[in-house]
């Protein structure tokens, strides 16, 4: 192969690689959702940021030094939920009621779940689903 053909071949290969990388990058969309307080946590606020494989939730105004968990929830046609990210889906707030929850995810919740919810576990046990109290929620 002469020099001109090699350069042309390399240019085409680099262009194909650039197009592939650009397509991949555009598929990795990042989503951000504001979280609204429930009646039990009127001063709380938060933001959920996620892409295809990670979720980060920033919270403020929650109960200080308390245990919370993060969930993806569908209300219709029937209510069901799954933990947001990887077990144990739990975080604890600091003395000011602030926390950041981060977790890897197996897949994006978009199109599968209707909302993300943050719930308080007043007993301090994140497995205690009987006594949990809704704190924040946001539509997906």
Q: Which pTM was predicted?
A: 0.79
Q: What are phi and psi of 45, to 5 degrees?
A: -155, 165
Query: If DSSP codes are grouped into helix, strand and coil, which group holds residue 52?
Result: coil
Closest alpha carbon to 115 in 48, 45, 43: 48
Report yes or no: 102 and 70 within 8 Å, Cβ to Cβ.
Answer: no
Q: How far apart are CA 85 and CA 106, in angstroms?
A: 7
Domain of residue 105, residue span: 30-139
Place of tokens 């219709």: 76
Residue 17 domain flag: no
pLDDT at res. 7: 60
What string of pLDDT tens digits covers the 140 residues of the chain? 576 656 655 545 454 444 445 444 445 688 999 999 999 999 999 999 999 899 999 999 999 999 999 999 999 888 899 999 999 999 999 999 999 999 999 998 988 999 999 999 999 999 999 999 999 999 99
**CATH code of 56's domain:** 2.60.40
Residue 98 domain flag: yes
Q: How far apart are CA 127 and CA 105, in angstroms?
A: 20
pLDDT at res. 26: 47
Residue 4 domain flag: no
pLDDT at res. 27: 56
Residue 23 domain flag: no
Q: How far apart are CA 82 and CA 28, in angstroms?
A: 23
Residue 10, Cα to own-chain centre: how many angstroms?
40
Residue 48 domain flag: yes
User: Could you tell me where the beta strands, DSSP code E, fall in 38-87?
Assistant: 45-50, 54-60, 67-74, 80-83
């Amino acid at each position: 192969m002469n020099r001109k053909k090699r350069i042309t071949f390399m240019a085409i290969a680099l262009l194909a690689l650039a197009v592939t990388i650009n397509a991949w990058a555009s598929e990795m969309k990042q989503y951000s959702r504001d979280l609204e307080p429930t009646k039990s946590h009127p001063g709380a606020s938060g933001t959920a940021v996620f892409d295809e494989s990670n979720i980060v939730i920033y919270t403020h105004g929650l109960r200080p030094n308390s245990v919370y968990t993060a969930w993806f929830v569908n209300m219709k046609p029937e209510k069901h939920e799954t933990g947001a990210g990887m077990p144990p889906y739990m975080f604890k707030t600091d003395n000011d009621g602030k926390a950041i929850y981060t977790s890897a995810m197996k897949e994006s919740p978009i199109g599968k779940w209707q909302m993300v919810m943050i719930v308080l576990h007043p007993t301090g046990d994140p497995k205690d689903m009987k006594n949990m109290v809704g704190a924040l929620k946001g539509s997906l």
